[in-house]
Chains A and B, each alone.
Chain A
Amino acid sequence: MSTILSIRDLRKSYADGFEALKGVSLDIEEGEILALLGPNGAGKTTLISTVCGITTPTSGSVTVGGYDIQADYRAARKMIGLVPQEIALEPFEKVWNTVRFSRGLFGHGSDNARIEEILRKLSLWDKRRNAIKELSGGMKRRVLIAKALAHEPRVLFLDEPTAGVDVELRKDMWEIVAELKQAGVTIILTTHYIEEAEAIADRVGVIDKGELLLVQDKNTLMAQMGKKQIEVMLTEPVATIPDSLSEHNLALNGARDALIYTYDTNAERTGITTLLNDVAQAGLVLRDVQTRQSSLEEIFVNLVSGEPA
């Protein structure tokens, strides 16, 4: 895979001294889905706005497909599609016309077949003659995506695509993103729904207070930073943890009928076999065993608060 978007030491400060981006550097590979996670005001939207040309950077450089976003802004912007966070659409315009407008604005000639394909893919074909104001919120969001795709971008930015969207539409949106990835589109999405990043991203970037804290393969991130727990459920509750098990560093659950053992998946020996043997030796009878891995959300919260996961 080759790098399609390269951000180098990007900074943005405002007249009042506020630094929205404090030297962000990031490479994005062609065809991947990168999720940018961060709390409100972390700089996610500023980062996207700067790459797309809506905000002028204070310093640093960005290239898209090798084109500098300032020196070669036309070539760079033609490769980018943007779906903004807020629903911003002309209410009286028809769906078809607004998508055709977007295509024209990005320098493409009218291509009815292409617009039809996009509208069908996003289940908007039946609504093509409707004025935007007649559409539901979910449909409007689809129109925003259709507009962003109208000029066949190679990189698509989705700024909180599922904020305030119901569960069903969120699943639809994930399917759309998966289809776009299939079609070879590189996708950068911002979200503060961790489950969203967990469900669809290839890589996860965590941004907070204008700084990119880390960017990592999602699975590696979870494996590296995630702790795993094994819960050994007993047939009978116990008053205390037997002394013979003290070296395992166990905890009891609230009902005192399960032993909780935390271990590192990357360690050479997890100690599970010994533990289970020792539990049997101590005369305890197992009812069930289950394991649990810490979610991306826990990792994220710990990262942002500065504590280890």
Chain B
Amino acid sequence: MNWSAIAAIYRFEMARFFRTLAQSFLSPVLSTSLYFVVFGTAIGSRIQEIEGVSYGAFIVPGLILLSVVMLSISNASFGIYFPKFLGTIYELLSAPVNFIEIVIGYVGAAATKALFVGLVILATATFFVDIRIEHPFAMAAFLILSCLSFSLLGFIVGIWAGNFEQMSLVPQLVVTPLIFLGGTFYSISMLPPLWQTITLFNPVVYLISGFRWSFYGIADVPIFWSLLAILAFTGICLAIIGWIFKTGWRIRS
């Protein structure tokens, strides 16, 4: 294992993050505050409580995941797409590194950045609502797994993308709708029966449900299914990345 290469990639990617620290820090704080003002105050005053949890507190896990998922994808896809775009990928391809080391470096850095922002949002939320975390270990596990798995997805998007437009295609056209329709701002028990069934085909439902369970002990689907879903998703992403490096798809001629 070329640990020094992993460290070099990780450090290089984190440097990008620290160069724009204010932006990395301020933008999630601002957007979370806006969500609380709009959803928490305007809508929350009409909904009040869901299964014993105030609406403001109820949406916190979903809000964290919303940002974490989007940032994981954009960080990781940008991280690997940028070298392709600039041509600096020649160095990675000619270095004594294997694909596992490259993935650990890029995905590790992308996940770290997303995790940091997730924690910033959690801290910001405590200024607006009372938050309790009933299962802190489960909460940490879901958060870290979400950062990792969606960073893996982002890595795949970055390898696949041929231009900047395609980079934003997956997050905007696929992930955003799945997250908004996945119970970020509501419990799926509030939907009509038909939509409750349809919603169960949305993988994000399992993620948000499990994450919310680690906070308040309430879930839309059994916690076991949530865990299985996130592990399966991580496994699928890993398998695709393994195939990409084996075949050199879109990176090696």
Residues of A within 8 A of B (CB): 14, 49, 52-56, 73-78, 80, 82, 84, 86, 88-93, 97, 100-109, 147
Contact across chains for B11 and A101 when beta carbons are under 8 A apart: yes
**B96 CB contacts on chain A under 8 angstroms:** 73-78, 106-107
Complex Cα distance A37/B168, Å?
43
**B12 CB contacts on chain A under 8 angstroms:** 93, 97, 101
**B7 CB contacts on chain A under 8 angstroms:** 104
Complex Cα distance A277/B17, Å?
82
Complex Cα distance A86/B85, Å?
12
**Could you show 22 A-B contacts with beta carbons less than 8 Å apart?**
A52-B93, A55-B253, A56-B252, A73-B96, A77-B94, A78-B96, A80-B94, A88-B86, A88-B90, A90-B82, A93-B12, A93-B15, A97-B12, A97-B15, A101-B12, A103-B8, A104-B5, A104-B11, A105-B5, A105-B92, A107-B96, A147-B91
Any A CB within 8 A of the CB of B95 = yes
Quote the shortest CB–CB distance from A150 to chain B (angstroms). 10
Partner of B8 from A89, A93, A105 at Cβ < 8 Å:
A105
Complex Cα distance A267/B76, Å?
68
Q: What band does the interface of chain B fall in when counting residues whose beta carbon is under 8 Å from A?
A: 20 to 34
Contact across chains for A107 and B94 when beta carbons are under 8 A apart: no
**B92 CB contacts on chain A under 8 angstroms:** 105
Known: A92-B19, A104-B11, A106-B95. A54 touches B4 (CB 8 A): no
Interface centre among B4, B11, B95 (most CB of A within 10 A): B95
Complex Cα distance A97/B88, Å?
14
Minimal Cβ-Cβ distance residue in B for A83: B90
Complex Cα distance A108/B91, Å?
15
Contact across chains for A54 and B252 when beta carbons are under 8 A apart: yes
Which residues 1-50 in B have Cβ within 8 Å of A in the complex?
2, 4-5, 7-9, 11-12, 15-16, 19
Complex Cα distance A32/B171, Å?
52
Minimal Cβ-Cβ distance residue in A for B9: A105
| Additional A-B contact list (13), CB under 8 Å, known A54-B94, A89-B86 | A53-B93, A56-B253, A77-B96, A78-B96, A82-B94, A90-B82, A97-B12, A97-B15, A101-B8, A104-B5, A104-B11, A105-B92, A105-B97
Complex Cα distance A90/B82, Å?
9
Which residues 59-87 in B have Cβ within 8 Å of A in the complex?
82-83, 86-87
**B52 CB contacts on chain A under 8 angstroms:** none
Q: Which 4 A-B pairs have the closest CB atoms?
A: A104-B8, A88-B87, A74-B96, A52-B94
Complex Cα distance A101/B10, Å?
10
Complex Cα distance A93/B18, Å?
12
**A103 CB contacts on chain B under 8 angstroms:** 8
Contact across chains for A109 and B94 when beta carbons are under 8 A apart: no
Contact across chains for A90 and B8 when beta carbons are under 8 A apart: no
Any A CB within 8 A of the CB of B248 = yes
Contact across chains for A77 and B95 when beta carbons are under 8 A apart: yes
Quote the shortest CB–CB distance from B91 to chain A (angstroms). 6
Interface centre among A93, A102, A105 (most CB of B within 10 A): A105
**A90 CB contacts on chain B under 8 angstroms:** 82-83, 86, 88
Contact across chains for A84 and B4 when beta carbons are under 8 A apart: no
Minimal Cβ-Cβ distance residue in B for A147: B91
Quote the shortest CB–CB distance from B82 to chain A (angstroms). 7
Complex Cα distance A62/B197, Å?
58
Interface centre among A54, A97, A104 (most CB of B within 10 A): A104
Known: A74-B96, A77-B95, A105-B97. A84 touches B15 (CB 8 A): no
Contact across chains for B90 and A106 when beta carbons are under 8 A apart: no
Minimal Cβ-Cβ distance residue in A for B89: A88
Quote the shortest CB–CB distance from B231 to chain A (angstroms). 31
**B2 CB contacts on chain A under 8 angstroms:** 74, 107
Contact across chains for A56 and B93 when beta carbons are under 8 A apart: no
Quote the shortest CB–CB distance from A282 to chain B (angstroms). 64
Contact across chains for A109 and B4 when beta carbons are under 8 A apart: yes
Interface centre among A73, A91, A107, A147 (most CB of B within 10 A): A107
